[in-house]
A and B are shown apart, each in its own frame.
Chain A
């Protein structure tokens, strides 16, 4: 037993009132699905059933899109930007007021530690709405012409890794620009989106401006393929992104895709080592590695590789894996049994292919879906774990000798979402960042997000940008 044994410090669940079942949020109210299908959402930390949610069929999606179109034509599209801003500011403030409730619910449904949902996700959600509220009446000055117009109805499909944050990334800019939305949250994490629907009611948002349809892949397909949808925005796997791109090809629909990644986190020999180790940990173990921009390939300069790995292992041994609602938990539960299987399979392949596996010593709970923070050393570019997105707390460690080799290896991937550069030498940071084919390059930090900063990929990591002034472009005719 450790000398300083932190006693359990669970955040109270009493602040959330989870209803036994939820309908679809269409035209400002919760309605039952036409064909009555429902599915259960569980807590991945305990496998406890949290609630039943509606599974939207094609006719439900049609209702939602019609409601959105009507709201776009009659209310939201014609509304002056400064009035739209008032609603967005109101939503942002309500999110702040209900921050603790949203954080607890997000941790329950997703499995992420309360420390992250409380300190990262929910504050960023509110910040995103505040940020785009500010743009709503300034669109003529955004650099997209003197009078940019909204596109219409946006069909938005989001993943389970940051349920509420991805909702904010999608809904805030769409609404600021005058579009209305139909959003489909991920099947395993629908609950915070449904509470967001309540927040829309609380904010008196006109009916139909925001519609939430829950369901699995078929619901998403029905939404994306709906003829009355003008704009498709998707965040998720490259595989599904390809299907979406194919299905909308040849239509008038605009598309933005934010897909997978296999980011390189490059540590040079003159890096601030202690902070680099923190950045490596934050890069791959933040949110259990369920981050599309996770720094899942660590490239260390060979001259400091042993020292960095030693520090990294020591640091990983400090990570606290367990109950997501415990305020001291660093690593929560894997979001689903399916995802856990994928992580296990790829990890086994890594070991079979000859990489050396090391996992932090930790006791995993009996129930729920768990995976110990793991690193693979001796990985080469030829290993599958260096090429495929694992989307879990698994880090592949490679080494390099020269800056040119680092850049070559970092870019040698079909993805290009993000990258990290660790060095105390400013000129090197700039020159390496310039050569990396990645949408976001972090210098001496990792996984830092800000609503003012555009985010998006190169190559198979997708196209379009979310966040910042750039994020407006996807939702404006210009």
Chain B
């Protein structure tokens, strides 16, 4: 039992330490900004454009769910004018950024870990080092920048789609007027709420990027190791999304 707790603590400390070291290396590599632009554009396209369909679908259903959850309560009170308040507020500040970040971590973060891990186990990273190209500089930095930019962009799209999903569900399932819903959004939601979610998603993007790259670069063993690395990367991303969400919300108010 004690050995087990000790081993688990040592492993978690090892992972957190590795992620911090990776963050430091990324920061040091961007201080005079030297980014491989071709790699950056490739990653922006691959991570951003290719994720739009899944993000849009998720956001639509998430928005609909928020109306489904708050709608009956609002209707019982007979106050459909505040229907957009609960749903919109929850979408913009919490559910939108968190759900989109979770899907992004599954779609892009996991994919990124798998790709880097495959490169590591096939010794392509050692090949880069032999050519005196720093793998962090060449592979990790463009990915981190691309993920931070693209998660913000996808959250903007996703928030708007989720608000539309909320009004579609409100209209078809709860008989709330389109106009009532949109007036209710406009009256109760402030730009500040929207910016709060966007600000969070920027940091979520960084956390997903750094942990997915860390687990990709440090993988050991062949195919089994790659699977395990992807698993560890999505778990670390999910935990850091939740922790960051709490601390950003707590500190920024």
Interaction A to B:
no
B residues apposed to A, CB below 8 Å: none
Instruction: Give the interface of A toward B (CB within 8 A).
Output: none
